[in-house]
Amino acid sequence: MALELGFDIGGTFTDFALLDRESGQLEIYKALTTPGQPEVGALEGLSTFLQGCGLRHEALLNISHGTTLVANTLIERKGALVGLLTTAGFRDILEMRSEQRYAIYDLFLQYPPPLSPRYLRRGVRERVDRDGKALETVCEGDVRRAIADFKREGVEAIAIACLHSYRNPDNERRIAEIVRAEWSDIPLSLSSEIAPEIREYERTSTTVANAYTLPLMSRYLKTLDDQLAESGFRGNFYLMLSSGSSALASAARSQPIRLVESGPAAGALAAAYYGDLAGHQELISFDMGGTTAKVALIHEGAPAAASNLEVARVHRFTKGSGYPLQFPTVDILESGAGGGSIAWVDSLGLLKVGPQSAGSDPGPACYGFGGRLPTVTDADLALGYLNPDYFLGGAMTLDPSAAERALEPLAHTFNWSIVQTAQAIHQLVNENMAAAARIHILESGRDPRNYAMICFGGAGPAHAAGVARILGASKVIVAPGAGVASAIGLLIAPIAFDYSRSYPTMLASADWREVGDLFAEMEAQGRRMLRAAGIAEADTVLKRSVDGRFQGQLHEIQAPLPADLKGMREDEFISRFKSRYRELYHYVPDHTPIELLTWRVRVSGSRAPVKPAELPQLSLDVEQAFKGRRRAYFSEREDYVSTPVYDRYRLGAGATFTGPAIVEERESTVVLPPRMRARVDAFGNIHLMRTDAEGGG
């Protein structure tokens, strides 16, 4: 057996997936996250999972890991004490930011405090101009005095970010040499290695954030490494990056900031994989877990990408209110709508849901762990969508009476019944997610009506039909193992790393020899990383692109480049660039010169292909999967309905049934409203389609 295991630590649950690459057989498991020490719950859950499968750690060829630890460290501000060394006169860039306000009429708007306090930000006399010419060498005395102060102040990590180091990193490297000579064991982060791109504030912010998380992640990964080795694991240990690729833990350890969106990125990869099996390459990935919901767009079979993201916002879902990070990432929209999202009443007397979450501790009221506030899970249980005796396959029992008690204060406030309150919460969270998704999709230049929705997460299949109806999506696809999608995505991710270097130039006057040298340097780094992971040169794939804009604009779009720059025709590139620009903005400013800024390459190697397991063709009536009936509320009927419940594990390929219906599996529950029909394909995907004229499909 060629066994590989993926585990993703989320805010509420830790998900596990075990894959036999030769047969395509998949085993999945879910355990509660231990918030204080996430590695403890993960390692215990891993051992329990393997024991249940009759396996030992020695049987695993590879383990892949995704984690929210980096994001949580930034959000909770529990990282290292960071000292910053930068060009003299520029230490306040972290507070000056980009001088753009995310809410221009808010006189009291706030930003998160800098991750390096001002008294630990020191200027060093040195200077490089925008073309990379060294104007002033490093003043070594400035560096040594700063290091002496940092030692006295108890600094735990140092970030180095000098002006224009993306063009010439020599001064940054010299500062690092001096630091290491004075303080050999201090963790260092250099902007020319972490984010060698134009935009001083974003580059410095990314470098400081990396330094802030570096000591904690080093300890965390060492603990995992040591514990896995003690358990007998001898294979490769991979980490999932925000870009949707995997890298050896040893290669990714120096840049932990690239793990900040590892779990959601893995979920988007799983969406693309199962969507392709279901015959769709244009998809909306909808991943609703216990704490948040994530939306990603799958276009031409691949998740949409972005060159930056933002974390730890003061206002969690307000763009511009957090720390910007500058590196490639899967383009994901996060919404504060999960199973644990709390329903409450605002100052105007309106019902709200989220973004506050009960998480796993204490969790929703129905968990019985001490939660008292009403959540989405409590509402879904009261509506009859969840089986209180089959949550996590029966590993947990839910308490319906506790859910109703939590809903009572809201019901009293609005003079509603319990079921009206639960339905209002369920509908409101659907509306919130659909509204956020619609804006995200439209900003990408796409129409949600042209896409099928594929759903994941423990809560996703219970809400997907309602969200898709509001969006106008043509179809809903519920993948097998939907409750552990991110863990499955970890096993699909290619082994790859993304590199970038800024070299601003006008297209008409670009020095293609210098561009070629930049690519050669980045690609050599990538090839070394792949060789360390055992990827042969013949299996290495390069994907080049460049960020460009029309002269005078502030923002860029990404355009592909051919593998052979010498043979590139300028008119062909201009045509592709304008085509992408028109796709996004429906207008092209002709006769305006094109400026190219940041050159990018992804160096990747294919993993062993996954042979998807096919379900047996249905030989008996669909009633073989019938488990019984229970009362469930549907707004289309404005009442509870005696609803058939099916066992997903007994649905064969070709099974069809109509709503209202409920399909149960261990990690999630599919809710099929009236006027919808379902079909199971050969790979276990459940296709939900509307039967009325309005829905199409």
The per-residue pLDDT for range 119-132, each reduced to its tens digit, is 999 999 999 999 99
3-class secondary structure for 647-668?
A: EHHHCCECCEEECCEEEECCCC
In this prediction, residue 556 carries a pLDDT of: 92
Tell me, what's the pLDDT at 405? 95
CB-based contacts of 345, cutoff 8 Å, min separation 6: 351, 352, 410, 413
Kindly report the number of other CB atoms within 10 A of residue 298's CB atom. Answer: 24
Chain position carrying tokens 């999202």: 341
Name every residue whose Cβ is closer than 8 Å to that of residue 317 and which is 6 or more positions away in sequence. 334, 335, 336, 355, 436
Residue 25's pLDDT is 83
Query: How far is Cα of residue 544 from the mean position of the Cα atoms in its chain?
Result: 23
Query: For residue 317, what pLDDT is reported?
Result: 65
Q: How far apart are CA 21 and CA 425, in angstroms?
A: 41
- Domains, the chain, ordered by start: 3-74+218-259 (3.30.420.40), 76-211 (3.40.50), 262-337+429-492 (3.30.420.40), 341-427 (no CATH), 499-601 (no CATH), 622-690 (no CATH)
Q: What is the pLDDT of residue 695?
A: 41
| CB of 659 closer than 8 Å to CB of 464 | no
Residue 690 CA to residue 697 CA, distance in Å, equals 7
Cα 405 off chain centre by? 35
Coil, helix or strand at residue 391: strand
Dist CA 260 CA 571 (whole Å): 38
CA distance 39 to 167: 39
pLDDT at 175: 98
Q: What is the pLDDT of residue 1?
A: 61
Predicted pLDDT of residue 469: 92
Place of tokens 């999972």: 49
Q: Quick count: other Cβ atoms within 10 Å of Cβ 437?
A: 27
Model confidence, pTM = 0.86
Q: How far apart are CA 339 and CA 250, in angstroms?
A: 35
Positions of the chain with pLDDT lower than 70, given as ranges:
1, 11, 316-317, 360, 608-609, 618-621, 692-697
